[in-house]
Amino acid sequence: MEAVGSFSNLRYADSPKGKLATVSTDEPCFECHIRLREVKSIANVKINKFNKQLCVTRFLSEDGTTLLSAILHASPPPSSSTTTTPTTTTSNKEEAFDALILKWGEKLNLASPPISFSSSATPSSGVEADVIQNWLKLGDGASMPSVDVATSIVDRCEKSALQVGQAEGQLKAIVDWFNKHSSQDERIAALACRAFTHLAYDNADNKAKLGQAGACQAVLEAMSKHTSSSDVAVQGFVVLSSLAYDENNRILLGQAGASRVVLDALKRHADNNSLAAEKGLVAIRCLCWDSDLRFELCQNGACELILKVMNEEQYCAIPIVQMQGCLALGNLANENGVNKASMGQDGACETIVRVMKTEHGGLMYAALQALFSLANDDNNQVRFGRAGACPLVLEVMEKYGMYPQVVQFGCIAIYNLAWNTDNKRAFLDAGALEYLTRVSTDASLSEEARNEASNALTRL
């Protein structure tokens, strides 16, 4: 059955079959009910059909069966009296769909629903200090399977992370329990990572407490134990990226061998799992916030691996992978001359230029950030110049200047590249002087962008 409508009137209701999400057309001729507990993942895909590209969001069951397909509806052809340009409208829709993929990825795995308890261990509201402790005891005995306990802990951590973190000793108890059971079952290992992710999300105190409770080591041990599980790898990448926001956690991760574990997991799973490719690159990017880890990652082959993932045919057309790859390259090269030189030899400059030639404006700030970070090296300046980066930087700034930080990062790139005489000449031939002069006085741009334009002008 098919119908044309929107999700603007989406509403929810409880039913004997669980919570339902309902959407209907404006006229009372079509109504769709989605059983939320049956939706285990959401896929955002682009397919070529009927001589055009379709943007489709699919709601999938546990076995991958499509429960509902929502296809982005194209705008109708304009009439003679229509003033709106249809190509602009369609383009905006496609850009919105691309933004959806950039934010959530091609496939989003949803959290498992909580299990039901008939015992007093079920919380009625909020989080009581003894609730999770009761579940842990149940999981250690014969009363309940440990996977069921782990699933409920994940659900409780997602809904009440603040209260769980504030309850005395709860974080340590959770980490210890998952540490005890994760080695026995890869499902529990993946759930452990999800629980830690929920607890750490947007909560600096919980991040620090988790690190002190041994969560960093627990995650790395789980990933090392269950090397064949892509779910453990993906969930591990996600929680490590979150925990790495805490400076002390980065030290703990370095001491526990995070660079080796992350790179090994990415090598193993990136080829056949786009989510692992994306989240693995994010983990590398976040670990690079620590200067020692940054150097160690590069020494262990991080740059070669990042470039391998980015340049694989299956990922060249996936914007989120290209974006995270560029951001990882930029962080890997940051304030490390040895890394910059090594990365240039590995082909990073040419890969960044390739990304800049794509038609995805949302990628450009990431590509330019990687470029200006690597361009602070004499040999890399030559490599970028030979790859045609100079006129391309100006083209990107002109075409995608409406995207945040594109102009600012482009100006920094010009400044760094123009230390090379040939690059300076190429910029001048491409009209950089006139463009930067205009940017430096453009009140619609940020002060940072105007200042970087003025700074680049001094180099030319």
Q: Residue-wise pLDDT tens for the chain (460 aa)? A: 667 777 767 787 777 667 788 877 766 567 788 888 888 888 888 777 666 678 889 888 888 888 888 888 654 444 433 333 333 334 566 667 766 665 566 777 775 433 332 233 333 333 333 445 555 554 555 444 578 888 888 888 888 887 888 877 888 989 998 998 899 899 999 999 999 999 999 899 999 999 999 999 999 999 999 999 999 999 999 999 999 999 999 999 999 999 999 999 999 999 999 999 999 999 999 999 999 999 999 999 999 999 999 999 999 989 999 999 999 999 999 999 999 999 999 999 999 999 999 988 889 999 999 999 999 999 999 999 999 999 999 999 999 998 879 999 999 999 999 999 999 999 999 999 999 999 999 999 999 999 999 999 999 9
Task: Identify the pLDDT of residue 102.
Answer: 57
Task: Identify the pLDDT of residue 154.
Answer: 87
- Whether 385 and 422 have beta carbons less than 8 Å apart is answered as yes
Task: Identify the pLDDT of residue 114.
Answer: 36
Q: How many CB atoms lie within 10 A of CB 333?
A: 31
Q: Which 8-state DSSP code applies to residue 388?
A: T
Residues 6+ apart with CB under 8 A from 16: none
- Whether 4 and 73 have beta carbons less than 8 Å apart is answered as yes
Closest CA relative to residue 460, chosen from 433, 439, 438: 433
The class level of CATH for 11-73+90-109 reads alpha beta
Q: How far is it, in rounded angstroms, from Cα 159 to Cα 143? A: 24
b/e sequence 3-37, b meaning 16+ C-beta within 10 Å: eebeeeeeeeeeeeeeebbebbeeeeeeebebeee
Task: Identify the pLDDT of residue 86.
Answer: 34
b/e sequence 56-90, b meaning 16+ C-beta within 10 Å: bbbbbeeeeeeeeebebeeeeeeeeeeeeeeeeee
C-alpha atoms less than 13 angstroms from C-alpha of 305 in its C-beta half-sphere: 26
b/e sequence 377-387, b meaning 16+ C-beta within 10 Å: beebbbbbbeb
Task: Identify the pLDDT of residue 277.
Answer: 96
Q: How many CB atoms lie within 10 A of CB 184?
A: 11
C-alpha atoms less than 13 angstroms from C-alpha of 349 in its C-beta half-sphere: 26
- Segment holding 13, helix H or strand E: strand 11-15
Q: Which 8-state DSSP code applies to residue 60?
A: E
Task: Identify the pLDDT of residue 151.
Answer: 84
Tell if the pTM clears 0.85, that is, is over it: no
Q: How many CB atoms lie within 10 A of CB 51?
A: 5
Task: Identify the pLDDT of residue 33.
Answer: 82
Residue corresponding to tokens 């705008």:
75
- Strand bridging mode 52-60 / 41-49: antiparallel
341 by Cβ neighbours in 10 Å (0-12 / 13-18 / 19+) ranks as: middle
Report the largest interatomic distance among the alpha carbons of the chain, rounded to a whole angstrom.
77
Q: Which two tokens stand for residue 309?
A: 């993932």
Task: Identify the pLDDT of residue 21.
Answer: 83
Phi and psi at 245, nearest 5°, equal -65, -20
